Structure 1
C-alpha cells in the first residue's frame, strides 16, 4: 500500500497546515532528495503529479525512490499552490523537522574536527547563504554558522541550499560563542591563502557582502587571509569566496579522504 492509498489528499493537506509553522519547507524534488539522503525526518510530502516525480526519482535518485513512494501524496496543483505559492517547477514540496539546536551546537563544538567550520559574518543575501551551505555540504565541512539577523533556515536559504542543510550543521551564533579552532578571516589585506595550509579544525570566516568583516570578528581572528585577485577587481561573490577557500583546504588532503 503506498502513501496515496493510506492518506488521502484532504488528510495530507490538514497535516501540512498543522506542521507548516514549525517545519522546514523543502521546495522541489532535489531538496527533498537531499534531505532524505541525509536522514531528515519528513512527515508530509505533496505533489501535483506523483507518477512524474517517481519517474524522476527512477532516473536521478533511485536510492530514495522507495522513500518517496511511501511519502508522496498527490493533491490537485491548485491546492498545492495555495500552500506553497512559489511552487518549484517539479510541483513537489515537503515539510521536514529541523534538527535540534543542541545537536547542531554539539557537532560544531566537538573536537578534534576533521573539517572546517564556515562562518558568515552578518550575511544579507538569503540566496548567497543557501549557496554557501550547499558548497559546505559538498566539501564535507563540519557546519555553517551565521552571525547577525539572517535566519540560516529561512525557506529561501533552504531553497538555495537544495535541502543540504541536513548534510551539515547549520546554526546562527554570536561571535563570542563561535566554535573552537583557529579563526582564518578572509580579508583583502591578509596573507595570500596560497602560501598557507588550512588546518582541519579551522574556522573560516567571511564578511558580509556589503561591509566585509565586522570589527568584532576581525579582533577575534587569529589570521587574516586573502584570496588571489586581479588588480582593480573589487571582490568575489560570497559563495565563490567560500568555494575557493574550501577548495584550498581540500587540496591539501589526500584524494578520497572522507571527512
Structure 2
C-alpha cells in the first residue's frame, strides 16, 4: 500500500504524511510540482526524524507517476464522491491518492483513477486537513487488509 500526494502545497502537511507513512509502514509518492521547495525546513520539522524511516518517491508529474505504478489500483479520496471509504473494499497493493489542498485533482486525473471515495463528514463543512484525511484513509485500508504494523 502507498500514499500518493498530487501537487501538495503545504510543507507541513507533507511532513505529517511522511511521518504517518513511517509509522504505518506505507511508502509515500509525491507528484510534482509541489507548492514549496523540497528542502523546506517545515517538511523536516513536521516529519522530524521519522523522515528517515519512510520510502519517498518523487515524480515529475502525474504521467510519470501513473507510468510507474504498474497494475496497482489508484484510489482517489475526494469530497466529490458519494462512496464511503468504510464501504469500499481495499486491496493490499492499492495506492491512496490525495489531491492538492486548495483544489483537489483536475477532472482528467480523477477519471484516471480506479476508485473515487470519500471520508464521511458533516455536510456543513467542506473538507478535512490533508494529513488527517490520509491518516483516516490509511488506517481503514490497513484495517481491512489486516496489514497493521505491530
**Normalised-by-shorter TM-score class:** 0.7 to 0.9
The equivalent residue for 2:140 is 248
1:129–1:152 Cα contact (<8 Å) kept = no
The Cα RMSD (Å) is 1.9
Using the alignment, how far apart are the partners of 2:149 and 2:87 within structure 1? 22
Q: Which runs of 5+ in 2 are unaligned?
A: none
Which of 126, 133, 136 aligns to 2:21? It is 136
Q: Which runs of 5+ in 1 are unaligned?
A: 1-115
* Larger relative contact order, structure 1 or 2 (CA cutoff 8 Å, min sep 6): 2
Using the alignment, how far apart are the partners of 1:257 and 1:157 within structure 2? 24
* Counterpart secondary structure, 1:204: strand
Q: How does 1:1-259 map to 2 (within 5 A)?
A: 116-149=1-34, 150-173=36-59, 174-178=61-65, 179-180=69-70, 181-190=72-81, 191-254=83-146
| Residue 254 (structure 1) shift | 3.6
Using the alignment, how far apart are the partners of 2:10 and 2:95 within structure 1? 21
The equivalent residue for 1:89 is none
In structure 2, relative to structure 1, the CA distance for the partners of 1:203 and 1:152 (3 Å cut) is: farther
In structure 2, relative to structure 1, the CA distance for the partners of 1:165 and 1:151 (3 Å cut) is: farther
1:88-110 residue CA offsets vs partner (Å, 9 max, x unmatched): xxxxxxxxxxxxxxxxxxxxxxx
After the TM superposition, which segments of 4 or more aligned residues of structure 1 sit over 4 Å from their partners? 255-258
Scaled by the length of structure 1, the TM-score of the pair is 0.51
The structure carrying a bigger helix percent of its residues is 1
In structure 2, relative to structure 1, the CA distance for the partners of 1:162 and 1:146 (3 Å cut) is: farther
Q: How many residues align?
A: 143
1:70-120 residue CA offsets vs partner (Å, 9 max, x unmatched): xxxxxxxxxxxxxxxxxxxxxxxxxxxxxxxxxxxxxxxxxxxxxx11111
Scaled by the length of structure 2, the TM-score of the pair is 0.85
Using the alignment, how far apart are the partners of 1:208 and 1:125 within structure 2? 9
In structure 2, relative to structure 1, the CA distance for the partners of 1:220 and 1:184 (3 Å cut) is: same
1:133–1:144 Cα contact (<8 Å) kept = no
